[in-house]
Amino acid sequence: MRENGHDPRGGHVDHELVRATELEDVRAEGRVVMVRGGSAQARHYQLWLEFMAPRIVAGGLVTQERIDEALAQMADPAHHWLSQVQISTTGRKPLGS
């Protein structure tokens, strides 16, 4: 994922960048949701995995068979999982600025 421009510390990095500004009351909150297989949200994960599969397999991280199993689970409405954590960072401009 790093080789494709993804920083797994994304939310942490954003928080650090905002804290380095003039903003006050900087804070961050995380949110996760339960994803149901077969949903539009699950399809997003499927598309990502289908896109990344050749690189993941070539890197020896998992087999194509395991990817196929995961894709089938993502399509199954009986299967549920927690999404990645979405981190939102906020701050406010100081009064009088």
- Does residue 84 form part of some domain? yes
DSSP string, 12-36: HHHHHHHHTSS-EEEEEEEE--EEE
Count: domains in the chain: 1
Question: Whole-structure pTM over 0.85, yes or no?
Answer: no
Each residue's pLDDT tens digit, 10-42: 777 888 989 999 999 999 999 999 999 999 999
Structure tokens at 90: 């906020």
Q: How far apart are the first and last CA of the chain?
A: 40
Task: Say yes or no to pLDDT of 97 above 90.
Answer: no
Task: Say yes or no to pLDDT of 1 above 70.
Answer: no
CA distance 95 to 97: 6
- Which pLDDT value is given to residue 21? 94
- Does residue 96 form part of some domain? no
- Does residue 61 form part of some domain? yes
Domain, as residue range, for 50: 2-91
- Which pLDDT value is given to residue 96? 82
Per-residue pLDDT band for 95 (boundaries 50, 70, 90) equals confident
Task: Say yes or no to pLDDT of 79 above 80.
Answer: yes
- Does residue 97 form part of some domain? no
CA distance 84 to 66: 20
